[in-house]
Chain A
Amino acid sequence: MVQFHLDSTSGVPAYLQIVQQVRQAISLGVLRPGDQLPTIKEVVGSLAINPNTVVKAYRELDLAGILDARRGQGTFVSDDVEGSPDHDYAPLRAELVKWLSRARGAGLDDEAIRALVASTLRTELSVRAVA
């Protein structure tokens, strides 16, 4: 059973962390199509977070087709989810590597790059509306 954890210092909203961890679990093979996710009560009981946070995360994943909420039974990994979505992110990854070399070229060291990325994430990720 997958265990979620929360990093309250990262600046990333809690529900988004859960979304990311579910995606990660699927891409790592920890969660496979048809597997049941922990119930809201179980997540909340282990993390001490607001149930709505979990509801929001599961709902977003449901709308994205990654999870399947079956009434009265629980939430399951969608059968038609792809196991290793890494491939889809290859172009993004390539762009990121290019940007990193540009940043280095502009004189930013590792710390400065991390700070820039973190503050941009904070602004951008919390402002955007739920898809």
Chain B
Amino acid sequence: MTWLLWRQGRSENLLVAAMLGAVAAFMLLTGANMHSAFGSSGLSQCTSDAAKLPTICSLQVNIFVQRFDGLNQLGPWLSLVPGLIGVLLATPLVLELDQGTYRLAWTQSITPRRWLTTRLALLLLAVAVCGLTVIALGTYWRQPLDSFSGRVGPSAFDLEGIVPIAYILFAAAAVLAIGAVSRRTGLAVAGGFGAYLLVRLVLRSARDKLITPLHTLSRPPSGPQGIRHSWIISQSYTMPGSRGNAYNVLRSCITSDGSLDSRCMSHHNIFSSWTYEPPSRFWPLQSIEAGIFLVLSAILIAVAVWWIRHRIA
């Protein structure tokens, strides 16, 4: 039956391989670039999360980040990849239901139940393999940047840890559920991908509410411990205990070269207010988000399985 799954899903599988290949080529090439730039500029000295960095570091880091900023902008586009992979992996099964070839497959010598369980098992395996590939590539690619800015931030979070597997699984599950009920491939693909985008967006904006972020005040220009590798949700200036607007006062602390005078700020009792998720929150957030996607996927797959077993003949 493995032969059938390979052959029947050949186009989709090849597309997935091509997509992963393209992503891999991109990440390995640009990643190698970043790694070597990182190494040759001695930036390894600048990765500590100490409250204050040597001055040379902030300049070097800025240069580095600016140089590879374009890659950072690709973050949102890279978010599409797990969705596309999931949709492609689930499409062959939906095609069988749409084109009626399941009636052929169910009347050879394998039972319908075995057909379904084997297909699902191999689908889950493919999801895991693709997911792990994305994680491996993403982790390698992000490593230099992560060493400055940590992995809790959105650009890194989505490509590392375990959530990529959950993303792919969810996209696949959505396609399966819509495909099983409607038996229309076009609808399943469009609907599944749409559902993926929607849920990803929702969870992305709700991510900072999954675990209550930390709020801290600090004396500018430094931040709280570990802020460098945290996901900074918001940062503002505030004058605690005073009713006045800190920003009005801030104006008077701007020096001639445009930067903020820290002594002036401390004189006026201006503090930095930080809302952030520290690096220690990486795995908890990963687990919660992955957990949500896994639960949704399980429900969708259960719906698909029930529908196929009981409503399709």
- On whether A and B touch (CB less than 8 Å), the answer reads no
* A interface residue numbers (CB < 8 A to B): none
